[in-house]
Amino acid sequence: MSTTNFPFQTLRDLLRYAVTRFNTEQLFFGHGSANALDEAAYLLLHTLKLPLDKIDPFLDARLLPEEINAAIAVIERRASDRVPASYITKEAWLGTYNFYVDERVIVPRSFIAELIPERFSPWVQDPEEVSDILELCTGSGCLPIMLADAFYNAQVDAVDISKDALAVARKNVQTYELEDRISLIESDLYSNVPDKLYDMIITNPPYVNSNSMSKLPQEYLHEPQIALAGGDDGMDLVRKIVAGAGKRLKPNGILMVEIGNERVFAEEAFAEYGLTWLSTSAGDDMVFMLTAEQLQDSES
């Protein structure tokens, strides 16, 4: 697409155009940015290789024709094809962490990630004593990387059923130079997990119920559906995770599970436990916790 079709000169021109295109197409923003302006600013700054946190100094700078062409191509890919921004830029952010992503993994987004910097206080009383963590459904490897940073005496076993996802996770683990602390394991949940006990089991599994899957915005259809679909009530994999956690946790261990908007289904599926719900930026509905004691009592 040639710049001759567009009378653009500055980043401000492109920003206005992008916001209008995104709003006209009624894009869905669920992969990082919250609105058309933030998404447009991020995509344009990334495309032009400018600092992502400083747009004002560059708004009225004139752009080269090739820069305008590159920016318009990105705007159109997001607007017309509804490709999530992270697949266009090949990166995603969780807090201060930057991860490589592509279509082999879902775009990283997790409420558990908000809890990691506080090292799950007060549920983990002595973070320095945490030596073994199991993370299921790892995808891009974002959570085990953050867990390894927060619990610096821990070894982290990160599991996924997808070879493709593990290839992306391996790239991120190497970027953060954590190969000696994070073991990537191809496994259907616990099937290939080492025979050992863990201080904690952490998971952000597929949990979208079948009714919600049928109504997903087009942006989500670009993601691996195996990483989203959780069966009729969204709890298919969660049931297996809960059922197998007790015998793999140390006596004071915890299981932490993210289930998004599926609290009602989770409460129904695990009514016998009395789930503890943890507070996140989205409220007290997104992440639940069970202790080893609760899980082991149910097995006896």
Q: Using pLDDT thresholds of 50, 70 and 90, give the confidence band for residue 157.
A: very high
Of 45-49, 84-88, 161-165, 261-265, where does mean pLDDT reach its minimum?
261-265
Q: Give the tens place of pLDDT for each residue, 95-153.
A: 899 999 999 999 999 999 999 999 999 999 899 999 999 999 999 999 999 999 999 99
Q: Model pTM?
A: 0.92
Higher per-residue pLDDT: 116 or 300: 116
Q: How high is the pLDDT of residue 261?
A: 86
Q: Does the pLDDT of residue 161 top 70, yes or no?
A: yes
pLDDT computed for residue 194 by the predictor: 96
Distance CA(276)–CA(38), nearest Å, equals 34
Give the pairing type, strands 283-291 and 249-258: antiparallel
**Amino acid 3: pLDDT:** 47
- Predicted confidence at residue 300, as pLDDT, reads 55
Asked whether residue 87 carries a pLDDT value surpassing 70, the answer given is yes
Q: Is pLDDT of 283 > 90?
A: no
**What integer best gives the mean pLDDT of the chain?**
93
* pLDDT surpasses 60 at 2: no
